[in-house]
């Protein structure tokens, strides 16, 4: 994993900087003419009485080198620092003219020792004054390799502010960041000053070497926490939002990369074998990163100063809600701690502006993770709603094939569980290459009621098992689709040997014995086709198996049919006295088809069941739309999300 990316440009400090300025007064930049004007003004105002020759000597020997770092800056931004330098030079010159008895002049100000740091902080101060968010965040570069100016700053930091002098470094920032000290609305932005001190320490200590990635992760995590605090300022916090997002992306990337390279964090694993993860394991490095980023997410979500502008776009810190949420979700899904994602979805559903107000890339990413979360929690109908929207929104371009394929895998899986199979046109798209070989055998087995083929294709020992396990959809497909195979099997047997009377008032029937016979025959084929020794736990090896064949009796068969009836997949009732299954005829009496009445469409049954559960049609918990949620903004608890197609 490459931490440094030389293709990413950074703003060169050594070049003149264009600044935003109001049309009145006009822009005045610091130059030699202005310095001489200030020298004369201070000489006359302070009644020093120096002549032109003396003023030229003061400029050449006491002022010129000290003010060089300020060349090209707005006078209003650097006036205080430059005026202090000139006044000090004038006082020293007058004192030297009065005789050698006077004490030696004071040492040069710290600005002379650290000109590049001073120039950097003065520029940052100016950006805060004019609320120039873009330039401020261009100056705060985070990822090495850095430009020359950063290297010179690093040398100054190592010389003047080595580790252990953090308080002095913070004092330096306080002295030059006057705009942050003054703040806004009588509220100083002290958290930004602390962040800048931490940022300079980061520039001093960071390394792009792979062996130092863990130390870099620690530095970035500390920096992220300082950024989160600076972001919390009510009126000025939005200025660092782009930096918060940029740093969060680095934290996310490093955390996931380190988690994939256990040799770099082996000492962490050995020192913390168990932790506080919500799935019972230790708190992983990515999970720790997600907890840090979640603080920034909450700050953006709770922004009470900004909302949506006249065009319906988010303003202020609200802009970062979905970007930071997506980073947190990426981390949580990577480290398989998705229970922690519940709170993110609930908070967005209750407090966020509508998802439609945000850029397409954020909408697609968020709905992809929401769809995966709902799929994982067996809420397949609403999962496919979110995934279908994400798939439709994702651009059908070559560079987006990988993202569209990720969405399509879960979208197809959700729809198959709901009884809808992918078309040939869909499977022929570029992002669907290879998916036909994986999903079509399942669809064919369900349609034919072929229990043997279904179980073989989704076997844990099957050829395709690693792929299904990689996407974490194998168990859902096995458990949720098997009941659809039962339904097709019952339907097929009914077509072959079921009794269908001429009189539509009378019910069609099917003997339970026929179902038992067919089922046991399929079970025997399944056992014969396995051809493998079944694993037995050594602790139970001596327990004899009185019946090695997997057979089913009438009671078990009735239980399976009852499950189909209870879920609405078969319209029938069981007559235990007659040992038959009787199919309802209400639809036939109204002019419908007997077969359709007995076996209604799976998609219609399951989707109607969800919509009857309450709420607005097509509503998905976690997806904030333009309309208000259930009950006008009440808390929607996703922890209790129930499964579709499974009773209980």
Report which of 524, 607, 531 is spatially closest to residue 567, judged by C-alpha positions: 607
SS3 631: coil
pLDDT tier, 210 (very low <50, low <70, confident <90, very high otherwise): confident
Note the pLDDT tens digit of each residue in 457-507: 999 988 999 999 999 999 999 999 999 999 999 999 999 988 888 776 778
Region 262-277 average pLDDT = 55
Q: What three-state secondary structure class fits 268?
A: helix
CA–CA separation, 139 and 126 (whole Å): 12
**550 or 618, greater pLDDT:** 618
Residue 353 has pLDDT above 90, yes or no: yes
Cβ neighbour number for residue 336 with a 10 Å cutoff: 15
Closest C-alpha among 388, 354, 348, 351 to residue 368: 388
368/355 Cα distance (integer angstroms):
13
- Please state whether beta strands 508-511 and 572-575 pair in parallel, antiparallel, or not at all (unpaired): unpaired
Q: How confident is the model at residue 633 (pLDDT cuts 50, 70, 90)?
A: very low
Say which residue, 534 or 310, is predicted with more confidence.
Answer: 310
How many angstroms separate the Cα of 204 from the Cα of each of 199, 200, 207, 211?
9, 6, 9, 17
Can you tell me the mean pLDDT for 190-211?
Answer: 92
Instruction: Please compute the mean of the pLDDT values over residues 206-230 and round it to a whole number.
Output: 90
What is the pLDDT at residue 483? Answer: 93
Most confident of 142-146, 200-204, 627-631: 200-204
Helices (H) and strands (E) in the chain, counts: 30, 3
Mean pLDDT value across the chain: 81
Single pTM value for the model: 0.76
- Residue 536 confidence (pLDDT) above 80: no
CA distance 491 to 598: 9
Checking phi first, is residue 646 left (phi over 0); if not, alpha (psi -120 to 50) or beta? beta
Read off the pLDDT of each residue in 610-633 and give the average, rounded to a whole number.
Answer: 68
């Amino acid at each position: 994993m490459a931490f440094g990316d030389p293709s990413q440009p950074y703003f060169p400090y050594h070049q003149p900087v264009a600044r935003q300025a109001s049309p009145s007064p006009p822009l005045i930049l610091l130059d030699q003419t202005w310095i001489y004007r200030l020298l004369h003004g201070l000489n006359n105002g302070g009644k020093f009485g120096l002549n032109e020759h003396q003023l030229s000597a003061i400029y050449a020997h006491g002022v010129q080198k000290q003010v060089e770092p300020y060349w090209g800056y707005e006078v209003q931004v650097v006036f205080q620092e430059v005026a202090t330098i000139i006044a000090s030079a004038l006082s020293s010159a007058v004192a030297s003219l009065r005789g050698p008895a006077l004490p030696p002049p004071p040492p040069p100000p710290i600005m002379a020792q650290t000109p590049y740091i001073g120039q950097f902080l003065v520029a940052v101060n100016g950006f805060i004054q004019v609320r120039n968010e873009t330039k401020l965040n261009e100056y705060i570069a985070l990822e090495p390799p850095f430009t020359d100016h950063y290297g010179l700053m690093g040398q100054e930091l190592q010389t003047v502010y080595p580790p252990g002098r953090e308080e002095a470094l913070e004092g330096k920032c306080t002295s030059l960041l006057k705009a942050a000290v003054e703040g806004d609305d009588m509220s100083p932005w002290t958290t930004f000053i602390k962040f800048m001190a931490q940022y300079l320490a980061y520039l001093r200590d960071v390394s792009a070497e792979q062996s130092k990635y863990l130390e870099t992760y620690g530095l970035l995590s500390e920096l992220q926490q300082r950024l989160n605090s600076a972001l919390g300022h009510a009126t000025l916090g939005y200025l660092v939002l782009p930096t918060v997002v940029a740093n969060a992306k680095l934290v996310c990337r490093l955390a996931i990369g380190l988690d994939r390279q256990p040799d770099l964090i082996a000492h962490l694993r050995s020192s913390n074998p168990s932790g506080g993860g919500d799935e019972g394991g230790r708190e992983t490095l990515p999970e720790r990163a997600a907890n840090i980023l979640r603080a920034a997410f909450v700050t953006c979500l709770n922004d009470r100063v900004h909302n949506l502008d006249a065009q319906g776009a988010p303003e202020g810190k609200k802009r970062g809600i979905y970007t930071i949420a997506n980073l947190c979700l990426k981390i949580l899904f990577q480290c398989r701690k998705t229970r922690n994602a519940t709170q993110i979805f609930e908070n967005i559903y209750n407090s966020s502006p509508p998802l439609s107000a945000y850029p397409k890339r954020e909408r697609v990413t968020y709905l992809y993770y929401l769809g995966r979360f709902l799929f994982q929690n067996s809420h397949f109908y609403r999962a496919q709603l979110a995934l279908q929207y994400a798939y439709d929104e994702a651009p059908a371009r070559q560079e987006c094939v990988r993202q569209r394929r990720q969405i399509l895998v879960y979208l197809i899986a959700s729809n198959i569980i709901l009884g809808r199979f992918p078309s040939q046109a869909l499977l022929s798209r570029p992002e669907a290459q290879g998916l036909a070989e994986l999903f079509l055998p399942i669809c064919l087995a369900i349609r034919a009621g072929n229990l043997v083929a279904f179980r073989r294709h989704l076997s844990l020992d099957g050829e395709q098992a690693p792929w299904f396990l990689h996407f974490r959809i194998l168990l859902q497909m096995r458990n949720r689709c098997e009941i659809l195979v039962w339904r097709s099997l019952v339907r097929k047997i009914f077509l072959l040997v079921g009794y269908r009377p001429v009189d539509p008032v009378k019910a069609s029937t099917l003997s339970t014995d026929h179902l038992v016979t067919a089922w046991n025959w399929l079970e025997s084929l399944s056992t014969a086709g396995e051809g493998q020794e079944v694993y037995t736990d050594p602790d139970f090896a001596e327990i004899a198996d009185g019946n090695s064949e997997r057979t089913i009796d009438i009671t078990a068969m009735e239980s399976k049919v009852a499950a189909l009836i209870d879920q609405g997949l078969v319209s029938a009732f069981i007559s235990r006295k007659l040992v038959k299954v009787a199919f309802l005829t209400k639809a036939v009496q109204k002019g419908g088809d007997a077969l359709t009445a007995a076996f209604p469409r799976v998609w219609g049954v399951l989707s109607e069941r969800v919509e009857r559960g309450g709420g607005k049609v097509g509503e998905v918990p976690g997806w904030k739309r333009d309309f208000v949620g259930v009950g006008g903004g009440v808390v929607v608890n996703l922890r209790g999300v129930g499964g579709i197609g499974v009773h209980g």
